[in-house]
Each structure stands twice: as C-alpha cells, then as structure tokens.
C-alpha cells in the first residue's frame, strides 16, 4: 500500500509548501498529493483554495493574481506559494506526485508540464493526475493516453467506476466513508487501483487498510 502525504505532511507543516513536501519525504511517504490552480498569467500554482484569504490572511482570488504577486504573499506568515515546476524540481523523482486539478483550465498546462519533465528523464509513473472535475480528466486523456489518471468522488461510486473505465483511468479516489468491503470488491473487480482520502484517525487507518486498498492519502504519513 502506497502512503501519500496529503498536501504534503499537512498534519505537521503548512499545507502545499516545499516544507510540507520535505517533511513528507523525511517521513518516508511514497508520494505527495498537491492541489493546483492557475495564476492570471497562466502559471501552475500549488495551492488548495480558490481564494488566498484562509492561507495567507490577504484577500484575493488566485486566478486574478499574477504569479509574482501570489509569491509575495506568505502561507502561515513564512512559506512561499510554490509553482508546480518548483515542487517537481524539489521532488526530483524521489516519490509519486499526485497532482489534483482544482480547475479545468489547468488540464492543458499540466499535461504540457508533465510531458516536459518526461522528456527530461521522469517517467509517466512518477505522476498521477486526479480531479473531481471529470471534464478536466477527459481533456488530459484526449491529449495524452500515457498520463496516469485518478477519478475523485465523494458521492457516487458506481458513476465514478463507470467514468474511470471510460477514460482508462489508473486509480479511483473515493472519500473513505464511501467504502465498505463490498464496494472495495466491486472496484477491484474492475481492475482499478484504489486510493482513498483523507484518512487521518488511527482507527480509520486500520479499518481502511484491512480492506486491501492500494493507496492511502493522509495528513499524517507516519501514522499509516
Ligand atoms: O485528493 C484527495 C483530497 O485532497 C480531496 O480533497 O479538499 O483535500 O483537496 P481536498
Ligand atoms: Ca487535494
């Protein structure tokens, strides 16, 4: 089972920052999960929210701000908002990078960035692109059949399984409360790998691990 550090080791360090990804690697995580939006000048920014308020204390909307201006803000007073390229350079092929697209507009630039890194020696298997926005996943699949895709859902497992099969996705990423033994069996019968989020409490981690899942996305990689 792969242990994926949610937004970096979010349970310990400010989310989606280089420090959080460093912590995840130090804890031996097999992968990191991160969220991406686009800045007004088209840079791929690693940031969870549509707005800057919660994480930086400054009002703003990521898509309306240029990369330089976003990088003048500080997450929790001292971390820069990284670009996806900066995170990939930091990771340097040391673990899986699960890129969650928060906006459909990121599908094309993320595809192009992955292709650039693959041309420089990364493997497609270093990447897993997931989204609740299935149109974005469909667009990536149309652009490149080799990029591993993960279908996120917090509601309808059957619909997600059907869509995942239709785009030849690698993984299904359900909210962990959706799962029981029967649903896990069904997902496995469809030959989909199962990555489950966001599982943090020790009793939930044990219960979910016993289902025989393939990946666990957690704020606390050391607990898993
Ligand atoms: O990728 C799974 C999980 O990260 C989805 O929820 O809100 O933490 O991005 P959220
Ligand atoms: Ca996420």
d(CA 35, CA 131): 9
Q: What's the pLDDT score for residue 85?
A: 99
Which one of the ligands is nearest to 35 CA?
A: 2
The reply to whether 78 belongs to the active site is: no
| Nearest ligand 1 atom, CA 150 | 1
Q: What's the pLDDT score for residue 28?
A: 98
Ligand 1 site, residue 197, Cβ cutoff 6 A: yes
Segments of the chain assigned E as strands = 2-6, 31-38, 44-46, 96-101, 127-131, 149-153, 171-174, 193-196, 215-218
Q: Residue 2: name the closest of 35, 24, 23, 20 by CA.
A: 24
- Do the beta carbons of residue 62 and residue 52 sit within 8 Å? yes
Rg (CA), the chain: 17
Q: Which of 24, 33, 149, 175 to mutate to test the pocket of ligand 1 (most atoms within 8 A of CB)?
A: 33
Tokens of 19: 């420090």
Tokens of 122: 């990364």
Please give the chain's pLDDT, 224 residues, in tens. 999 999 999 999 999 999 999 999 999 999 999 999 999 999 999 999 999 999 999 999 999 999 999 999 999 999 999 999 999 999 999 999 999 999 999 999 999 999 999 999 999 999 999 999 999 999 999 999 999 999 999 999 999 999 999 999 999 999 999 999 999 999 999 999 999 999 999 999 999 999 999 999 999 999 99
Domains and CATH numbers, the chain: 2-218 (3.20.20.190)
């Amino acid at each position: 089972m792969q242990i994926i550090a949610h937004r970096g080791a979010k349970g310990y360090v400010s989310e989606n920052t280089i420090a959080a990804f460093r912590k995840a690697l130090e804890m031996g995580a097999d992968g990191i999960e991160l969220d991406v939006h686009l800045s007004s000048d088209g840079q791929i920014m690693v940031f969870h929210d549509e707005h800057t308020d919660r994480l930086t204390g400054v009002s703003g909307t990521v898509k309306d701000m240029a990369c330089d201006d976003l990088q003048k803000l500080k997450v929790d007073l001292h971390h820069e908002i990284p670009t996806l390229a900066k995170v990939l350079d930091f990771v340097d092929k040391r673990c899986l990078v699960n890129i969650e697209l928060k906006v459909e507009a990121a599908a094309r630039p993320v595809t192009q960035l992955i292709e650039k890194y693959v041309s420089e020696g990364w493997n497609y298997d270093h990447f897993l692109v997931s989204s609740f926005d299935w149109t974005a996943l469909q667009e990536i699949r149309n652009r490149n059949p080799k990029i591993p895709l993960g279908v996120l859902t917090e509601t309808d497992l059957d619909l997600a399984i059907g869509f995942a099969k239709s785009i030849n996705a690698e993984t299904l990423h359900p909210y962990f409360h959706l799962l029981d033994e029967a649903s896990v069996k069904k997902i496995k019968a469809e030959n989909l790998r199962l990555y489950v989020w966001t599982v943090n409490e020790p009793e939930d981690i044990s219960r979910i691990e016993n289902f025989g899942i393939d990946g666990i996305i957690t704020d606390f990689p050391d607990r898993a």
